[in-house]
Amino acid sequence: MGESDGKMLKAALRYAELGYPVFPCVPGGKAPATTHGFWDATTDVNQITAWWTARPDANIGMPTAGLLVVDVDGADNPWPGDDLEGLAECPVSLTPRGGRHYIFRQPAGKAWSSTASRLAPKVDTRANGGYIVLPPSVVGGKPYQWTENLETCPADLPEPPAWLAAQVDGGTDLFAQGANRPVEDGQVAAQGAPVASQGVDPTPSGNVIPTGQRNATLARLGGAMRRVGMSQTEIQAALARANQDRCRPPLKDREIERIAASIARYEPDQVAVAVAENHWGQDTETATPAEEPVPASVDPGPIPDELLRIPGFVSEVMDHCLRTAPYPNLVLAFAGALALQAALAGRKVRDPDDNRTNLYLLGLALSSAGKDRPRKLNTEILHEVGLSGQVGGGLASGEGLQDALFTEPTMLFQTDEIDGMLQSINKARDARHENIMGTLLTMFSSANSIFPMRRRAGRDAPGAIDQPCLVLFGTAIPNHFYDALSERMLTNGFFARTIILECGTRSHGKAPGIHPVPDRVVETARWWADFRPGTGNLQDWHPVPLIVPQTEAARTILDEARGEAEQEYARAESLSDSAGTALWGRVAEHARKLALVYAVSENHQAPEIGRDAAVWASSFAIHQARRMLFMAQSHVAENPFQAECLKLLRKLRAAPGRELSHSVLLKRMKVDAKTFRVLVSTLEQRGDIATRTEIISGGGGQFYRLTEKAATAG
């Protein structure tokens, strides 16, 4: 193990020696990498050594039970104002985004819990039931650092100064921005926010709200008013006054209207979590990038029906498939027709940037939802025009795939076992399936070049495949597919190369009847079968594909899509999101391939990539990238504990009102009570769920609700 590799282990052992229990977090992130999260923390040298020997780059987490850690977000956050008493006496950790962790010991008799923005905007606390990440952990490519090396054991940590302890106990005006003055009786409501009543100025002068905190502060103030039943009109009037008196400079009137309208959407008993999560965002007019909140991965929903149509051959094949399928499915019919067109045009056309039509398409559908009909129709059409040899079924091995493409350099493989292959790679690590994956990855990138085959016994030369065009049309059951994915699968390239389409619920069945393939479809397919680009005797072995021209409008649109994908790539890179970088790195390529397929479907004899093709292809590729990322982040876990966390969130996301009682959720999770408590505690700590108690049948009932943040994030 090199010196750099041993840095985390050395630090973890030093913390344990001082008496601080530690546990590993995922490399580059804050999520626990153990079975029971921070509850697995220990000072045991053997366990710590085993953890960091297995994962030398794991970050270091520490539970904060018995401690008080004040988490100040943002390098220019004004908290605590002029009152610095006691802060210089405690250990301080600098966070990667410019914030600070002040670490104290809880006074005797206290049992503080973690809070979010209770002391002030963007100032949280971590205490019992929480944890923090310790130096030299790295998040977003930047490390945590001590201002001075930690050499103090927990028992010797200083207690928080009296003024800070009073704030943590709840006796503070949260909007004083450092004034640290007590609040008058009756002015503190649930969640620690001040209550404003009609006719009373809730924002005394002198407490300036600076740029970078205006939206968040006014949203919290509006939330306090909403909790006591005030209307949108009343909230807007009070916020307008506070804006003029305290915001420097004041926000525009329309921004005040937006905040009030957002707050008023919530019922009084629902607004607390929304305010705590601050999903109206920080004021970003002049905020520095380090201050801005990380946007959640928003779910764009399944692909809209209007994007499941392109003119010409693809739509004609779709229509026949839907007419003859016992259970018509628009998504499957579209994916099958798109795959057929991509295969027919393989090695015969390219765009001005040398993109080809090889696509990997995967339709997710439940059993008996109509997955067979598109595959059978594609086989029927290719057989009709003499291309039966270009159809493949199951993926038996990487070598078999290569041999098939050596014989027929253009192949359409149609398989219903993608999830099984991924399961084998993910869990059994079957070498045969690993070899299939490697071949799929390299074939995708070899469509405009030469693929050198493996050397085989008894052959002098291994041979090569000139410009192989492998089109994959797979289907899988949704749950099986996502269960088969792993963090490694998201980053090895296969996920990013694949366009995944969700097929929804099964349609009503019908008597399909017997209908021959339309003559127009057969004629177009035969035209492609007979089309030979290039000249001379080598046109079959080494074709020179036709360059499909591109209009200026189309190029501009595709360049804009590439720019949007590059921005998303940069954002994912800054967050060390390897799955995001892998996926966004392929979006521009997907858009150009799809635009090419659109053009040849629209007019096979004189194709041109025009504005409509570019608009459709860009919209399709970007929408699917967002949807695939959201679904992956909602399902794929790096370790068993995270998998259980994601499972719990999915249970709440699917529940009416995104809320379930303790007994119902425990039953649906199928875990023991101790594990359940750990899961709930971790998700509360992360701000993904909120807990409330309701008096029912003479007793108290616990309910868990998905927060707005978790509802929109993957």
CATH number at residue 157: 3.30.2250
Pairwise CA distance, residues 310 & 616, whole Å:
8
Average pLDDT over residues 173-201: 31
- Regarding whether 247 and 375 lie in a shared domain, the answer is no
The boundaries of the domain holding residue 213 are: 205-277
Q: Tell me: the pLDDT tens digits for 243-292?
A: 887 786 788 787 788 888 877 776 665 554 444 444 444 333 333 333 23
Q: Tell me: the pLDDT tens digits for 41-75?
A: 999 999 999 999 988 999 999 999 899 999 998 87
In a domain, 349, yes or no: yes
- Regarding whether 672 and 583 lie in a shared domain, the answer is no
Helix (H) or strand (E) holding 339: helix 330-344
Looking at the 3D structure of the chain, how many domains does it have? Answer: 4
Pairwise CA distance, residues 27 & 97, whole Å:
17
- Regarding whether 657 and 618 lie in a shared domain, the answer is no
Among 591, 617, 635, the domain-final residue is 635
In a domain, 285, yes or no: no
Pairwise CA distance, residues 37 & 642, whole Å:
8
Looking at residue 188, its pLDDT comes to 28
DSSP for 407-438 reads: H-SEEEEEES-HHHHHHIIIII--HHHHHHHH
Pairwise CA distance, residues 473 & 454, whole Å:
25
Q: Tell me: the pLDDT tens digits for 586-600?
A: 999 999 999 999 999
- Regarding whether 486 and 427 lie in a shared domain, the answer is yes
Looking at residue 185, its pLDDT comes to 28
- Regarding whether 548 and 417 lie in a shared domain, the answer is yes
- Regarding whether 613 and 683 lie in a shared domain, the answer is no
For 78-92, 545-559, 655-669, which range has the lowest pLDDT when averaged over its residues?
Answer: 78-92
- Regarding whether 559 and 479 lie in a shared domain, the answer is yes
Q: Specify the CATH number for the domain of residue 542.
A: 3.40.50.300
Tell me the pTM.
0.58
In a domain, 187, yes or no: no
Closest CA to 75 of 287, 283, 290: 290
Closest CA to 410 of 394, 388, 434: 388
Residue given tokens 């490390």 in the structure block: 143
- Regarding whether 622 and 678 lie in a shared domain, the answer is no
Burial profile 22-34: b = 16 or more Cβ within 10 angstroms, e = fewer: bbbbbbbbebbbb
For 186, 378, 379, the CA distances from 525, given in Å and listed in that order, are 78, 10, 12
In a domain, 473, yes or no: yes
Query: Is residue 413's pLDDT more than 90?
Result: yes
For 163, 335, 601, the CA distances from 310, given in Å and listed in that order, are 66, 11, 8
Helix (H) or strand (E) holding 557: helix 552-574
Among 614, 635, 656, the domain-final residue is 635
Pairwise CA distance, residues 451 & 442, whole Å:
8
- Regarding whether 378 and 515 lie in a shared domain, the answer is yes
Pairwise CA distance, residues 421 & 381, whole Å:
28
CB atoms within 10 A of CB 461: 9
Among 579, 612, 635, the domain-final residue is 635
- Regarding whether 313 and 429 lie in a shared domain, the answer is yes
Contact status, residue 321 vs residue 373, Cβ threshold 8 Å: yes
Closest CA to 612 of 553, 548, 547, 546: 553
Residue given tokens 């590729």 in the structure block: 621
- Regarding whether 657 and 564 lie in a shared domain, the answer is no
Q: Confidence class of residue 619 from pLDDT cuts 50, 70 and 90?
A: very high
- Regarding whether 667 and 542 lie in a shared domain, the answer is no
Q: Specify the CATH number for the domain of residue 667.
A: 1.10.10.10
In a domain, 530, yes or no: yes
